[in-house]
Chain A
């Protein structure tokens, strides 16, 4: 499994590098909006995270459940995405993005689903008798909280963006894929311990596809 995880992480690193190059090249002739800068930084952090995971597995054959620096990068990546959703929207978009109480209530379904996945992950860990270190528990809790807020914003922007006149209309596909990516990241936490190769391949393949598609959808949305 370790050798497979190694190559999966290498592939995901290359997907993230593609995203970085694509975004940088797309905005080479004009100033990049702060929203895109934030997503670009998230992708740089993600690429470094995947590279570090690949190296830890290839050099040390180490268990990624023990303390390692990829946790910082993964957390950093989601904080950059949080920054994009929370403070990088321009005035008009921000006004439109506020939404009403009903839209906010419906949007809570996404963080609830993420929380459900977290509980399912913990159940899998106990079922397979995996001993979790304290640091890993802390990391998964922080990551879950960050993914929850990210998925909340993504679903909210999808709902608000369903109105054709909304400035968020063009970013619907981006937000949808971002939501899928967030859920896949949650599923990724427990995928290796399930010892099911099919589950691992499906989850990581989808993560790779979403990693490739997010910068493309963002560029299209920004046009």
Chain B
């Protein structure tokens, strides 16, 4: 994602993915439409951030290790969180919606990032690489933004907490991303691939709990 010389390819890929998504978006409605929209936003954010990361790489004299372990977690998490924050402020602060939106942005971002890396390393990839990227990077991006969404719903309702809460949420997402990037570039890389799954389990249990609670509330209303 950070190497130069294939920017045009990333734009070609972007058009290939975004056009069918946009057509699907037009005929969907309700929650499905929202999810599709935020997956598209995630993909767009990835394209945008890849340009910023390229500039930062130039600024730090092509030190890929330093940039990927210290700088890109900050830029990527901030830009990924922006659409979720916007949705939380303008549309709804319901925890279920924010969880879905956060996850959708993160997964959209991860899908496009994986594609860019795939086209860059087309000769060296195999099925194991695909699984590692899917479970590792894919989940990590999804989880980081989902965390922002989940906690934001708690903090948004209290005006005093909104700004400090938002900064601290971003810091959690940034450090989560930083740990993943640090691990996958070290001898402990397999630990890095497991880490997002470890975070995924409690969030999926929490999501299941939310679903049950929502169903109970609906039954009571009836």
Contact = CB atoms under 8 A, between A and B. Distances in A.
Interface of A: 34, 37-38, 41-42, 44-45, 48-49, 51-52, 55-56, 58-60, 67-70, 72-73, 75-77, 79-80, 82-83, 86-88
B70 A34 contact: no
Interface of B: 69-70, 73-74, 151, 154-155, 158-161, 164-165, 167-172, 174-176, 178-179, 182-183, 186-188
Nearest to B164: A79
25 contacts: A34-B154, A41-B169, A44-B172, A48-B175, A51-B179, A52-B175, A55-B186, A55-B188, A59-B182, A59-B186, A59-B187, A59-B188, A69-B69, A69-B175, A70-B175, A73-B175, A76-B167, A76-B170, A79-B165, A80-B164, A83-B161, A83-B165, A86-B164, A87-B159, A88-B158
- Please report whether the interface of chain A is mostly helix, strand, loop or mixed according to DSSP: helix
A141 B141 CA distance: 31
B206 to A, nearest CB: 10
A55 B195 CA distance: 13
Contact of B70 (A41, A55, A68, A73): A68
A153 to B, nearest CB: 13
Given A41-B151, A59-B187, A69-B73, A52 B172 contact: no
A56 B188 CA distance: 12
A209 B150 CA distance: 30
B172 A76 contact: yes
Contact of A87 (B161, B167, B168, B183): B161
A52 B171 CA distance: 12
Contacts of B178: 52, 69
B168 A55 contact: no
Contacts, number: 93
Nearest to B186: A59
* Most chain A CB within a 10 A radius of its CB, from B70, B74, B165, B174: B165
B182 A55 contact: yes
Contacts of A34: 154, 158
B164 A82 contact: yes
Contacts of B186: 55, 59
A88 B157 CA distance: 11
Nearest to A34: B154
Given A48-B179, A69-B178, A41 B188 contact: no
Contacts of B168: 41-42, 45, 75-77, 79-80, 83
Nearest to B188: A59
A65 to B, nearest CB: 14
Contact of B182 (A37, A44, A56, A87): A56
Nearest to A44: B172
A79 B172 contact: no
Give the top 10 A-B pairs by smallest Cβ distance, nearest first. Answer: A76-B171, A87-B160, A69-B178, A76-B168, A73-B175, A59-B186, A72-B171, A79-B168, A87-B161, A48-B175
A59 B73 CA distance: 18
B53 to A, nearest CB: 16
